[in-house]
Amino acid sequence: MLAPISWRTPPRAYGPWEYVTSLLTEGLVRRGLDVTLFATLDSVTAARLDGVAPRPYSEDAALDPKVYELLHIAHCFERARDFDLIHSHVDFPALAFSRLIETPVVATIHGFSSPRIHPAFEAYDGRAQYVAISNADRLPALYYAATIHHGIPLEDFPFDPRGGDGLLFYGRIHRDKGPVEAIEAAARARLPLVMAGIVHDADLFARAVEPRLGAGARFIGPVGGRDRARTLGRAKALLHLINFEEPFGLSVVEALACGTPVIAMRRGSMPEIIDDGITGFLVSSVDDAVEAIGRIGEIDRRACRAAAERRFSAERMVDDYVALYARVLAAPLA
């Protein structure tokens, strides 16, 4: 299992790719599979841990990201003969090594940062078996071995039947995630807003978020562990007013697991995750979001939890990947 090294696996707070990689790795180990996790050397796992980066490069400015990503990927592929299969979560750079080995490669595509990286995936289409994390994130030019939605450990996100009186924004402070739209919608609905997450765009935070904190909106920074679940569960609704075609959205399914309905822009994977009118509302504007906030009492929080249990458990995700591995190993190498 080849994890990213921007953050620890699992991350201490932020780090969605590392988080999913950890959930899958630990689930495979519980099934009795022999797994080696290539990750930062401070990672925590029941699998065998291997790697070259002592710490995440996002936590240590002394580590050059390009240098350590290259060393990290090369170290894994140099051991390819030791494994039946390599599963990469590190985006396109690992693909460049895939034709140098005979071991099958599965590559989960956690999203496309830009169309400029498409040629790398097209060049190795068929050599690596691609997994999409939503149907919305499939690139038409590519062949995909499967679409596998992320799953979460439901036991870490206990159901809160009551929720709270305020709204929640949970994500990076970045235009893509819609923090400004969340502030506007909450203010117009005259409800308090808690904002949780890392500041990804410091200029946006200073210019459009920070000046509006204090009256109705409160920023608490990144939260993890039990605080994450409590924050999600105590909300009246999660505002996910994104400005991009989001590949998945872990905070959305985590909120649903806690019983918290989601109001999200009808973009990217959101129509695959949210059952409009049942587990939340899909909207097209801030005006729509304000109207949806007024209707949030129509949503049964038990229905949100039931949807998460049925569709987004970590066990279901592990099942899907185990089935994919079996198909890949049974097929001839391209």
Q: Is 9 a domain residue? A: no
**Bridge partner list, 195:** 169, 219
What percentage of the chain reaches a pLDDT higher than 90? 95
Q: Are residues 179 and 225 in the same domain?
A: yes
Q: How confident is the model at residue 13 (pLDDT cuts 50, 70, 90)?
A: confident
Query: What's the confidence (pLDDT) of residue 46?
Result: 98
Q: What is the mean pLDDT of residues 209-223?
A: 92
Ramachandran area for residue 276 (φ above 0: left; ψ -120 to 50: alpha; else beta): beta
Q: Are residues 28 and 84 in the same domain?
A: yes
Burial of residue 209 (number of CB atoms within 10 Å: 0-12, 13-18, 19+): buried
Q: Which two tokens stand for residue 113?
A: 């940062």
Residue 332 has pLDDT above 80, yes or no: no
What percentage of the chain reaches a pLDDT higher than 70? 99
Residue 131: domain span: 16-151+313-330
Q: Is 4 a domain residue? A: no
Give me the number of domains the chain comprises: 2
Residue 173 has pLDDT above 60, yes or no: yes
CATH number of the structural domain spanning residue 116: 3.40.50.2000
Exposure class string for 176-190: b at 16+ Cβ within 10 A, else e:
ebbbbbbbbbbbebe
Q: Are residues 142 and 165 in the same domain?
A: no
Q: pTM for this structure?
A: 0.93
Pair 95, 107: CB distance under 8 Å: yes
Q: Are residues 42 and 170 in the same domain?
A: no
Residue 50 and residue 83: Cα distance in Å, rounded? Answer: 13
Q: How confident is the model at residue 226 (pLDDT cuts 50, 70, 90)?
A: confident
Q: What's the pLDDT tens digit per position in 92-106? A: 999 999 999 999 999
Q: Which two tokens stand for residue 165?
A: 């009186």
